[in-house]
């Protein structure tokens, strides 16, 4: 059967070819990603598949994704190579709408705030891979949400999807913009705010747990926690550094704090 | 004063221009890196500086690095742009010899093995940034060494230097090759071997500490701990996963285990 490919000049393909996908959408590529999209019932706006690149299992996945996606188009290997950010084309690429999460009164990311609630706040994050790794840590640790302030990395960067292992689609993620907006919400909801500050005298392991909702704040890769956060009432905690490095990678620090 | 630049065709510059620096050497760039090289007394084989790109503080740093390095050459901005892996040239680049560490009888990385010794073993690591982050975690946690088996990432990749925040120059790092070689050393030295395996019934926090030297084994990004390690006598430990992700980034997992 001859397949009518949709060409790279077709406006339905153009969002895949732009340097950045449209706001609120992320590019997901490959077999693992597509199994994950189907597992979590992701909102696939457009699914592209390249029959020439697909083997048997890939073809089955393409059929399932075609049924699930809002729209699905076959493309040539040449067009797929232009769409793909990878060196080896998998033949499967989707434009996926990211869910929108909210923080309200007594609720965050669709779940009630309670004394055992833990959230992570990442301030000034610069790199998409770190943002993705932070989301993955929040998911794995059972923390309720990742709040962002002074964000620099793009949430829609495809590396966020990859580094989060797809958990960007299921982990409550709220961009507060200014720290004071986030702080106002935290204070109103009765959170204790723990800033991760190198050199703070209190060890992160040395604290009560579960008597109040807790927000851990980790800073940017280059500059740590911003002055804006330091002016919010907080407890300063440190991860003891026994070697020559003055800090940990931000996702590693978040993992140590959240699993500690 | 006219400066006689060393040209990009000069054999003294060629190691900087090859796709890979010579075995046992790493490229370090920029002001932060050079302050660190001087701080730790690194073995700088060749130092290149570009007067056109240096401001006042950079020039002072260049003078100090020139005195410290085995050899130092001024280069033009054009040559520096070819040497640099960065988009903005700092005017400072060094080829640095990595230290060589050994594991012997009762000793690893120049320090005695004792009951409180902790080492991290990274099996099958694929990415330079993860290798660098692992080194930084070992340094920060006070673990004694990072042992590598089934290594795929290049230790000499410049991302290892950057992601380790330069601690690749001071953290004992031993590439054992085959897991059985590492296991033989660990058994002889009385180590308990703890493999991080998803789904293991024992929580990583639920264990004795300090009664025997301990080796934590973390697996590769794609495939986890290899079958070779699973056949070594070990305790399996898991980091509980409360969300949808089936694993953590390998450096995050190492941080959680070593600081836990």
Q: pLDDT tier at A127 (50, 70, 90 boundaries)? A: very high
**3-state secondary structure string across A116-173:** CCEEEEEECCCCHHHHHHHHHHHHHHCCCEEEEECCCCCCCCHHHHHHCCCHHHCCCE
Please indicate, yes or no, whether residues A198 and A119 belong to a single structural domain of this protein: yes
Q: Which residue has the higher pLDDT, A192 or B210?
A: A192
Using the beta-carbon criterion (under 8 Å), do A165 and B245 form an inter-chain contact? Answer: yes
What is the 3-state composition of chain A as percent helix, strand, coil, each rounded to the nearest 5?
A: 30, 25, 45
B248 closest CB neighbour out of A142, A244, A255? A255
Q: Is A229 found in the same domain as A152?
A: yes
**Single residue among B30, B62, B97 that ends a domain in this structure:** B97
Q: Which of B40, B137, B171 sits opposite A248 (nearest CB)?
A: B137
User: Among residues of chain A, what percentage have pLDDT more than 70?
Assistant: 97
Please identify every stretch of chain B with a pLDDT value under 50, giving residue numbers as ranges. 1
A140 at interface of B, judged by CB pairs closer than 8 A: yes
Q: Give a yes or no: residue A8 inside a domain.
A: no
Q: Quote the minimal CA–CA distance from B250 to chain A in Å.
A: 9
Percent of chain A past pLDDT 90, that is, above it, reads: 85
Residue B196, chain A, CB below 8 Å: the answer is: no
Instruction: Look at residue A207 and tell me whether its pLDDT is greater than 80.
Output: no
Cα–Cα distance measured from residue B252 to residue A136, given in angstroms and rounded to the nearest whole number? 10
Computed over every residue of chain A, the mean pLDDT equals: 93
The verdict on A146 and A69 lying in the same domain is no
Q: Check whether A137 has a pLDDT greater than 50.
A: yes
Residue A239 forms contact with B (CB below 8 Å): yes
- Residue B137 in tokens: 């975690």
Element (H, E) at B223: none
Q: Give the per-residue pLDDT at A88.
A: 83
* Same domain as B60, residue B126: no
B247 and B120 in a common domain: yes
Q: How many domains does chain A have?
A: 2
CB contacts < 8 A (A, B)? 104
CATH number, residue B192: 3.40.1280.10
Q: What is the pLDDT of residue B205?
A: 85
Q: Kindly state whether residues B26 and B59 are assigned to the same domain.
A: yes
* Residue at B88 is within a domain: yes
Which of B97, B132, B155 is the C-terminal boundary of a domain?
B97
Domain of A62?
14-97
- Give the model's pLDDT for residue B128: 96
**In a shared domain, residues B20 and B43:** yes
Question: Is residue A189 within 8 angstroms of chain B, CB to CB?
Answer: no
Tell me, yes or no, whether A1 lies in a domain.
no
Which of A61, A76, A97 terminates a domain? The answer is A97
Please report the ipTM that was assigned to this predicted complex: 0.89
Any idea what the CATH number is for the domain that residue A30 is in? 3.30.1330.30
Check A140 against B254: CB less than 8 A apart.
no
pLDDT confidence of residue A260: 85
Tens digit of each residue's pLDDT (9 = 90 or more) over B163-205 = 999 999 999 999 999 999 999 999 999 999 999 998 888 888 8
- Between the alpha carbon of residue A114 and those of residues A17, A144, A212, B91, B219, the distances in Å are 44, 10, 7, 53, 36
Confirm whether A4 is domain-assigned: no
Q: Are residues B136 and B117 in the same domain?
A: yes
């Amino acid at each position: 059967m001859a397949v009518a490919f949709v060409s790279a000049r077709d406006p339905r393909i153009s969002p895949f070819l732009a340097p950045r996908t449209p706001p609120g959408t992320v590019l997901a590529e490959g077999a693992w990603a597509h199994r994950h999209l189907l597992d979590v019932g992701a909102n696939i706006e457009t699914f592209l598949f390249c029959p020439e690149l697909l083997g048997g299992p890939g073809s089955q996945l393409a059929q399932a994704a075609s049924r699930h996606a809002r729209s699905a188009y076959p493309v040539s290997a040449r067009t797929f190579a232009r769409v793909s950010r990878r060196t080896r084309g998998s033949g499967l690429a989707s434009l996926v709408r990211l869910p929108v999460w909210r923080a309200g009164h007594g609720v965050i990311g669709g779940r009630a705030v309670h004394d055992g609630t833990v959230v992570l706040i990442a301030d000034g994050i610069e790199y998409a891979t770190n943002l993705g790794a932070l989301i993955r840590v929040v998911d794995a640790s059972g923390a309720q949400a990742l709040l962002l302030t002074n964000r620099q990395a793009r949430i829609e960067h495809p590396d966020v999807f990859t580094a989060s292992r797809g958990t960007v689609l299921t982990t409550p993620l709220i961009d507060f913009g200014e720290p004071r907006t986030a702080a106002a919400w935290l204070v109103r909801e009765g959170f204790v705010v723990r800033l991760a500050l190198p050199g703070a005298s209190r060890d992160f392991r040395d604290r009560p747990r579960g008597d109040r909702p807790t927000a851990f704040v980790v800073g940017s890769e280059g500059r740590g926690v911003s002055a804006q956060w330091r002016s919010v009432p907080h407890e300063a905690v440190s991860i003891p550094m026994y070697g020559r490095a003055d800090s940990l990678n931000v996702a590693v620090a978040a993992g140590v704090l959240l699993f500690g």
